[in-house]
Amino acid sequence: MNTNKAVDLSKMEQVLEKYKNARGALIPVLQIVQAEYGYLPEPVIGLISERLHISIHEIVGTATFYAQFHLKPRGEHIIKVCCGTACHVKGAAKVLEKISEALEVSTGMTTKDNVFTLDEVACLGACSLAPAMMVDEDIHGKLAPDTVGNVIKEIRETGVSR
């Protein structure tokens, strides 16, 4: 996570002007911020609080309630390891452990180089491919703990997930 990187607040001025008197504007505004920055930067939360007259506490509470919002920067590639029942039975925990080792991060964290964010999900809807994970938009199925690191290696080398 690069917290020192300056956040360009000018992008939000127009948005907040548009929503300043709108009731129930918080969620749509947070969605715009998330789409613009990839997460909800602290300075932007402060600006929203000031302009929409909503406490930071309430904004953060709302943001943490919905899985679509993130308070920290996300990686270039999002890895979602399925830990649903079918995947669990087929050894998802071991797969997750190996990926976590390969990336040197725990679930919910982003690698130091901001390339990967590791998430755990309940079911990817690909149970016949268990154990499975999703990298960005691509499903990787029938994973094995011993070889799952190759997927990570390939993405690091090529920049794409296949």
Of 1, 123, 149, 154, which lies in the binding site for ligand FES, with binding defined by CB under 6 A? Answer: 123
* Helix axis angle, 148-158 to 92-103, nearest 10°: 40
Peptide bond into 28 cis (omega under 30): no
Q: Report the C-alpha gap between 48 and 68 in whole angstroms.
A: 18
CB of 132 to ligand FES, least distance (A): 5
* Rounded-to-integer distance, Cα 116 and Cα 157, Å: 13
- The reply to whether 93 sits near ligand FES by the rule CB under 6 A is no
| Binding region for ligand FES (CB under 6 A) out of 5-13, 41-49, 73-81, 118-126 | 118-126
Residue nearest to ligand FES according to CB distances in the complex: 84
Compute the half-sphere exposure of residue 137: CA atoms within 13 Å on the CB side of its CA. 0
**Selected binder of ligand FES within 12, 81, 132, 151 (CB under 6 A):** 132
What is the total count of residues that contact ligand FES (CB under 6 A)? 11
The only residue of 85, 106, 147, 150 in contact with ligand FES, by rule CB under 6 A: 85
